[in-house]
Structure 1
Amino acid sequence: MTSDILSKKILILGCGNILFGDDGFGPYVAEELQKNYKIPENVCVINAGSSVRNILFDIALSEKKPTKIIIVDAIDDGKTPGEIVELPVEKIPENKIDDFSMHQLPTSNLLKELKDLCNVDVIIIACQIEHIPEEVTTSISKKLTDAIPETCKRIYEIINSSLP
């Protein structure tokens, strides 16, 4: 990962696999932010896809670190499909801390370490999936598509409240 990215004040990571329907929510949000929002110079939006673990490790090991990381992901937590939740790292359920499965929050223990040991403010914005298909598909459900603008608006609010 380039030091230019790590020198940004805020890093937004859109996580998920666009080949598995609703799991691609995070990358679709990242794409929407890049296309339709004016992103400040000291903010970087990355479609992390399913490589978020590698990016988080690079951040943890780097001398330069962002002051804030916003993780955008799809979750299957029994909520209403399309419902957006904002989770502080402290609120990640204990049973998900070491969960590296495809449809769970990314590398939860590493997020906690970034917050606690590296003083990086970590915010997780997640959207409840409607369905993860058994076959490859690059489209997400209407409920998640409808949640993208609200998610982008919330991220933009966080950016604006975090910068001078």
Structure 2
Amino acid sequence: MDKKILVLGIGNILWADEGFGVRALEIFHSLYRVPENVSLLDGGTQGLYLVQFVQEADYLLVFDAIDYGLKPGTLKIVEGGEVPKFTGAKKMSLHQTGFQEVLSAADLLGDYPEKLALIGCQPEDLEDWGGPLTQPVRDQLVHAAEIAASILEQWGASCTRREKGEMVEPLLANDIDHASYERPIAAA
């Protein structure tokens, strides 16, 4: 039986670089087809509501904006028992503390993922409410998706690169997709 794998993007797309996790998941979805045992979830800022999804996953891969104290746009991959330390390293938003609690709750309930990986991106700006991703963070979206595909490959879940121009269903019916939300505003 194939392991159940969850690829989770967390963050707030309305708050500049805090949206990295969700936007990276969207890019991953637009670039790759995944096997049936892999689920993609826009976790947004759901916090403890994500516990049931984490409990159901044998393997968990998370995209998130993490303040590692590095140069903005730097990607850092953390795996296994190190992940909870980084999801609570420096509180940047309500969801981040909530996600550390999600991992703790899943552990306490006895349903902690066998494998866990975090693809974190160092944010540049977390103060621009309603603002887009900064350029250093935006520049890492495709690379983060490629890293995720590589991790899934190591976990035995081969992703297939989508054909150029292939139609891709949004993750949610009412997605505020990157292109629509962050499009330039026309001059009045």
TM-score by length of 2: 0.69
Cα pair 2:72 2:137 within 8 Å, conserved: yes
Q: In 2, distance between residues paired with 1:105 and 1:13?
A: 16
The question of 1:140 aligning with 2:130 is answered no
Could you tell me which runs of 5 or more consecutive residues in structure 1 were left unpaired when the two chains were aligned. 1-6
- 1:42-93: per-residue Cα shift (whole Å, max 9, x none)? 11111111114311x2136x6xx22101111001231111111112352243
Aligned to 2:68: 77
Cα pair 2:88 2:97 within 8 Å, conserved: yes
Alignment CA distance shift 1:148-1:38 (3 Å): same
The question of 1:161 aligning with 2:157 is answered no
Cα pair 2:45 2:95 within 8 Å, conserved: no
The question of 1:107 aligning with 2:99 is answered yes
1:81-100 mapped onto 2 (5 Å cutoff): 81-91=72-82, 92-93=84-85, 96=88
Cα pair 2:6 2:59 within 8 Å, conserved: yes
Kindly provide the amino acid, as one letter, of the partner of residue 158 in structure 1.
I
Identity percentage of aligned residues: 25
The question of 1:125 aligning with 2:119 is answered yes
Aligned to 2:12: 17
Kindly provide the amino acid, as one letter, of the partner of residue 17 in structure 1.
N
Alignment CA distance shift 1:140-1:112 (3 Å): same
The question of 1:151 aligning with 2:144 is answered yes
Q: In 2, distance between residues paired with 1:53 and 1:43?
A: 21
Equivalent residue pairs, number = 153
Cα pair 1:75 1:103 within 8 Å, conserved: no
Cα pair 1:23 1:103 within 8 Å, conserved: no
Alignment CA distance shift 1:101-1:17 (3 Å): closer
Aligned to 2:52: 58
Cα pair 1:29 1:72 within 8 Å, conserved: yes
Cα pair 1:14 1:46 within 8 Å, conserved: yes
Could you tell me which runs of 5 or more consecutive residues in structure 2 were left unpaired when the two chains were aligned. 158-188
Q: In 2, distance between residues paired with 1:148 and 1:13?
A: 14
